[in-house]
Amino acid sequence: MDVRQLEAYQAVMTLGTTARAAEILRISQPAVSKAIAGLERSVGFPLFEREKGRLVPSAEGQLFFAEVQATFAGLTKLRSAAARIRDYGSGVLRIGCLSAFSTNLVPSAIAAFSRAAPDVAVSLFVMGSSALRDMVAAGQLDVAIAADEVDTTGVEAEFFARIRAVVALPPGHPLVARDAISPSDLDGLPFVALAPEDTTRREAEAMFADHNVSPRVVVETAYSSTVCALVLAGVGCGIVDPVTAVGAVERGLVLKTIEPSVHFRTLLLFPPKRRSKLVARFCTALADCRDASGLLLEP
């Protein structure tokens, strides 16, 4: 059997006559009859009973038609999948990001992307930079936002954002009255620090060394969101990513600029040579949201 025979059979079953089927399929009526006869020889049983010049579906034909309908439904699904791949490159987008971007920037980009491509399923993974890099390298993520200290061996990396860091203070802290914070203001104060390998922490430590000051590190953590929570709890002050801190500000966290400034830097990671149209569309939405945020700087 072949697809043309099945199409002729489906048309006759749906429309009731070979004449109407021929009209819809834009072939001759004898061609429809020949296709039906060939299909019957192929399956080994009659699909129709011939009664006074009319074709009446046989019992076997009714059972077979249900299978044909399921097959054509599958073909329709394949055509839709092919259209998605043609237009977007895939029907699924797998995104990874740091927690700093998981509650604001990336959700906004996903919302904009989904409005433009509503049939594309999106999976979002939130984790640390090293885990994101490993998933991208293994082909388990299509794109990820990671901190710039991550090892980029085995992946393609592009600059994504440079964000001016701020000092987070608990409500009522003596430094809240300052317009901006200087390194000397933090000398000896309890300090919640980022992880030692974080490039922002290293930049801050270099700044402190240049000014001969030493904040007293009481806690180290890998995430700005955790720094914010610890500062709100009164553990100390800390340098944080303002994108992450938005929700904490609503709970009373105070943010102040620091001069000279230090920065958070992030990269976009991609699997080598596997950037589809779908990924390009999402990256455009992500860049639009980044640029609209007003927090992100050039390299």
Q: Write the pLDDT tens digit of every residue in 88-119.
A: 555 689 999 998 888 888 999 999 999 988 88
Per-residue pLDDT of the chain (299 residues; tens, 9 = 90+): 788 898 898 888 888 889 998 998 899 999 999 999 998 998 899 999 888 778 888 999 889 988 888 888 777 777 766 666 665 555 689 999 998 888 888 999 999 999 988 888 899 999 989 999 999 999 999 999 999 989 999 999 999 999 999 999 999 999 999 999 999 999 999 999 999 989 999 999 999 999 999 999 999 998 888 999 999 999 999 999 888 887 888 899 999 999 999 999 999 999 998 788 889 999 999 999 998 887 666 55
Q: Which fold has domain 3-88?
A: Arc Repressor Mutant, subunit A (1.10.10)
Let me know if domain 166-261 sits in CATH 3.40.190.10: yes
**pTM of the predicted protein model:** 0.66
- Domains 3-88 and 92-160+265-297 in one fold: no
Q: Where are the domains of the chain?
A: 3-88, 92-160+265-297, 166-261
Superfamily per CATH, domain 92-160+265-297 = Periplasmic binding protein-like II (3.40.190.10)
Residue 273: left if φ>0, alpha if ψ -120 to 50, beta else—which one? left
